[in-house]
Each structure stands twice: as C-alpha cells, then as structure tokens.
Chain A
C-alpha cells in the first residue's frame, strides 16, 4: 500500500519502462527507414562545398538540379572536357525515356493483363490453374537470362530500319516479361473479390460474354486496374538491368544516375539531385497503392 502511494509500484514501473522501450524501438525503426532518404534529400539541395561533409546546416540551393538538367548545346560549347563535365549532365532526355518506356509498358501490358485476369478468375478452362502457377514462376527467371537472347536478337532485328537494341521499343518489349505476370495476378485478385451475382443477373437479362465483361465487370474493377497500373509503372520505372543491357545509350533515369560520375569519381550532390528526381514521383505512387504493394509483390501468397 505504501509502495503504491509513493508511485514505485513495481508492475506499473515495468509497464512504464516497456512503453519507453517501445517508443525508442519505434524511433529507431523510423531512423533506420528514413535516414538514407533524408540524407539523399538534403544532399540534393546542398551547395557543392557542403555535399562532402556531414554538416546539416547549410544554405539550400537548387544549383544541383540546374546542373543535371543543363542544356546539352550549352555544355558542348564549353571549352575542355573537364569544363563540360562540370557544366552539366543534360538528364532531361533520360526523364523522357523513363516516362515513355514506363508509360508505354503499362499502356500495352495493363489491357492485356486485365482481359487475361478476368478470364482466369471467371472461367474454368483446360489448364487454368496450371497456367496461373506457371505465370507466377516466370518471375523467378533471372533477368539476365532474358536479357542475353534479346540482346543478341535486337542487335540484328530491325524495326523501322534500325536495330531494336538501344531503342525504347526494345526496352518496352523486354519489360513485358516482368510487368505482365504481376499485373495479371494483381488484377485477378480484384476480380476474385467481385461478387459474381451481378454478372449472372446481366446474363439472365440477355447480355453476352463480352457485353458483361466490358459494360458490367470492367467498370467495377477499375480501381483494381488502376492500382495494378501504378504497381507496373513503379516496376518498370525502377528497372535497371534491362535498361542497362537493352536500353544502352537510350538511357532511362536509373542508368542516367551513372552519368553523375566526374573526373574525380561520382559527384554526389548531382547523384542525389538525380536520385530525388527518380524517387520522389514514386513516393507518391507508392503511398497511393500502399495497401496493395504486398499483394502485388507476393502475388497474393501472404494474406
């Protein structure tokens, strides 16, 4: 009783210290997750002379962004190689490449995946289950095995009079191998969750298979298709190996990060600025599909 009144109740003290420990653990987790992102962000807006220090007090600047997006014609008119390198990186074409490649990839993949996902969910046909599992396992093929034959094929395969190697089209084709399977599985999950009664009613009312698909089911799974599109966009945006081997000089932003190398090694303030351009749009997209990322990555295996 006395112990209680002076506030040294052992069990409540224990509770208190557990609470403190838990808060500390949470702060540690937040630090673990956010430190690289925070550090990249502040490095991107640091003036060059501060980028190579651990100072966190500095005068913020947008100079690094100016350098990485400097106009190429201006760069070429500069004197020595060294001066050109210092002047700028002209990353704008890479941003365009990334947007075009990722955009076109989902524009092609998502409609096809939606139709396939609908069929896998709603029809039972010969090989349905086996095909689905097979589609899942294609994701375990190492990307390098896909890249090697496409590299040799695209060296000689010409479309519109030039080889596919080093073109956006070539990169889009190869990206299908990673994007389509995920998209099919993700969208199938959304179709599965849709009750079948509405479709049955439409059938009774005389709609045929395609009318049901396009006028009844598709509008209902639109949110799911959007989520899958965003997921697929992130995947092809962050893709690196194909961009390096197949995209080559048609650099996406992931590969353009490598061009921040200067005469004395990587210029970190430029790398950080380019990195910010690469990751900030994806933060918003990732937050938007936050609840579905795990289902996407595991193809619904962990629920």
Chain B
C-alpha cells in the first residue's frame, strides 16, 4: 500500500495528545485527590512529594476517609436517590414521548414536515436557559405552564370530581389549584425531569424518525394486507424492529441524564430541601460553594465515574453488537 506507517500517527498525534491531557489527566488527578485530605481552605499535603532527594512517597497521607464519608453522608445518599429518580423519569418520558412524536411525524404531509423541522429547536436552547425558562413558566402567580395546567387539567378533573361528589356515594377531595410546582418535593423533581424531556424528546424523535425511515415499507404493507390494524402494527412490527435503536437511545439518554447539572442550578437550585440535588449538583456544592472539600468532591465524583463507566460499557457493547 501507498501508506507510510508513521503518517497516521502524525495526523492523530496532536488531537490525541489534547484529549489525553483534557480527559485522562483530570481522571487521574481526581482519583489521586480522592485519597487525600484536601480542602481549599487549608494548605494540602500530598503523598507524592518531589524534593531535592528525588521522589518520596508518604503513604501515611493516603486515606479512604472520603469514600467512607460518602456512604455515611445522608446528603450524598439523598443525591444518589434524586439522581436515580430523575434519570428514571426523564429517560422514560423522553423515550416514550420521542417514540410517539416519531410515529406521528414520520409520514409525509405539510404539517408533518413542518413539525420535523421544529424538532431541532429545543436542541438550540442551552440547558441553563431551559432551566430558567421553565422556572419562569412554572411560577404559581404568572407562569404560563401553571395557568395551562390549572385550566386544562386541574379544572376539568375537579369539575368531574365535584359531579361525582354531588352523588351521595363518595367524597373525593378536589385537586388543589394552587400547587407551587417548584416548592413541592415531588413536583419539583418531576418538573426538572419534564424540562429535560422537553429538550430531549424531540431529538430522540429525530433519532427514531431516521431508524423508521430505514425500515422497508414492504414489511408494513405485508402487515396491513394480513389485516393488522394500526395499534397491532405498532406493537407487533414497529416496536420489535426498533428494539436495537430503542436500547441504544435509552442507554445514551441514561448517560446524559446521570450527567445532568445545568438545569438544577438555574431551575431549582437543588431545592426544595435538597429534593432536586443531583450528584453533580451536590459535588459542585461541596467542592466549590460550601465546604470547598476537593478531596471529598473528588471521591464522590469517582463514584459517579464508576456508575458511568458501567453505562458506557453497556452502551458500547450495544452499539458494537447491533448488527
């Protein structure tokens, strides 16, 4: 072949060097910090000391305390919990709504095409801005979401309930019209997940639209001739064919959800009472806002790294084994 052996290394080298410096270096450094007592407020002492007599390692400075602390810290446990539920809700909603959008939008027609173009818009809204705009729209006094939820969901349901209550059979309490969405522990987490869903469901829909487009139309045709109705076609034909893509997308979204940080800062600030403190947010609080304990922050972020490594391995194996 024409190719000289050193040529690819010259081409790959600079990019690879920068990736190593900006990802491997911090991974190693954070691991190293995590085994130390390291608080920004105090001068830190590290195990590896480079002095006049060469490199000296002081083993006594290494400690597992940060990891031990993590598992006895109820706030850290809480952040694991919050992250878990945020991930479950946002992944489930994003994938299901994304699938719904894809199936509706997929066919031709003007309105379909317009919708397909609009699907890219949430991608352009930064997560930080997403958080602010949702917070604004959920405001209980002048938020448009608050108004719409009250008018379109709560009011009709309550009307129905009062109708039932008029019969002397049961007494069902009405739904409150004055829920402060971001002031309620459950609703704050749910709405945080909804804002994530708003950003991701359209993108996931686009992923599914691509996958649906590559399915041979004859398969659907055959199902129709065999007398299958729309629902049957969806559950018996479309879903099984999409299964590999659904798995990949679900895994990818899980990873992005586990990494979520921006909207917690701009939408809920972790509240009410830590109900939306995800791992990333809590690490940020410990490391940069409150105690400035870099050692502890590093240890907690390493626990997150381990979880994400497992997810990444799953994801890669899903992608590689697809065909």
Contact = CB atoms under 8 A, between A and B. Distances in A.
A35 interface: yes
B80 interface: no
A120 interface: yes
Nearest to A120: B12
Given A145-B30, A302-B210, A140 B308 contact: yes
Interface string A115-153: 110111011010010010101111011111111111111
Contact of A180 (B3, B18, B101, B287): B18
B155 to A, nearest CB: 15
Interface residues of A, number: 93
Contacts of A213: 11
Interface string A235-251: 00110110011000000
B147 A254 contact: no
Contacts of B125: 36-37, 279, 282
A217 B49 CA distance: 50
A23 B2 CA distance: 58
A209 B7 contact: yes
Interface in A218-258: 234, 237-238, 240-241, 244-245, 254-255, 257-258
Interface stretch (A2-10, A57-65, A267-275): A267-275
Given A54-B147, A140-B309, A145 B111 contact: no
Contact of A34 (B5, B121, B266, B280): B121
Nearest to B28: A149
Interface stretch (B136-144, B165-173, B233-241): B136-144
A40 B131 CA distance: 12
A241 B120 contact: no
Interface in A280-303: 282-283, 285-287, 290, 293-294, 297-298, 301-303
B118 A302 contact: no
A142 B259 CA distance: 6
Interface of A is mostly: helix
A100 B56 CA distance: 43
A240 B125 CA distance: 12
Contacts of A238: 126-128
- The residue among A112, A213, A234 with the most chain B CB atoms within 10 A of its own CB is A112
Given A26-B104, A34-B121, A148-B298, A140 B312 contact: yes
Interface stretch (A67-75, A86-94, A170-178): A170-178
Contacts of A113: 15
B38 to A, nearest CB: 8
A45 interface: no
A112 B22 CA distance: 14
Contact of A298 (B5, B14, B114, B252): B252
Nearest to B4: A209
B198 A36 contact: yes
A54 B143 CA distance: 7
A141 B27 contact: yes
B202 interface: yes
A244 B265 contact: yes
Interface residues of B, number: 95
Contacts, number: 264
A43 interface: yes
Nearest to B206: A294
Contact of A133 (B230, B304, B316): B316
A176 B122 contact: no
A53 B142 contact: yes
A34 B120 CA distance: 11
Nearest to B141: A52
A148 B104 contact: no
Contact of A115 (B14, B141, B301): B14
Interface string B203-245: 1001100110010000000000000001000000000000001
Nearest to B280: A144
B124 A131 contact: no
B305 A282 contact: no
Contacts of B147: 54
5 smallest CB-CB distances across A and B, nearest first, come from A149-B29, A177-B22, A238-B126, A119-B11, A116-B15
Interface of B: 2-5, 7-9, 11-12, 14-16, 18-19, 22-23, 25-27, 29-30, 33, 40, 101, 104-105, 111-112, 114-115, 117-130, 132-137, 141-144, 147, 198, 202-203, 206-207, 210-211, 214, 230, 245, 248-249, 252, 255, 258-259, 261-262, 265-266, 280, 283-284, 287-288, 294, 297-298, 301-302, 304-305, 308-309, 311-312, 315-316, 319-320
Interface of A: 18, 22-23, 25-27, 29-30, 32-37, 39-40, 43, 52-54, 112-113, 115-116, 118-120, 122-123, 125, 128, 131, 133, 135-138, 140-153, 173-174, 176-177, 180-181, 184, 203, 209-210, 213, 234, 237-238, 240-241, 244-245, 254-255, 257-258, 266, 268, 271-272, 275, 278-279, 282-283, 285-287, 290, 293-294, 297-298, 301-303
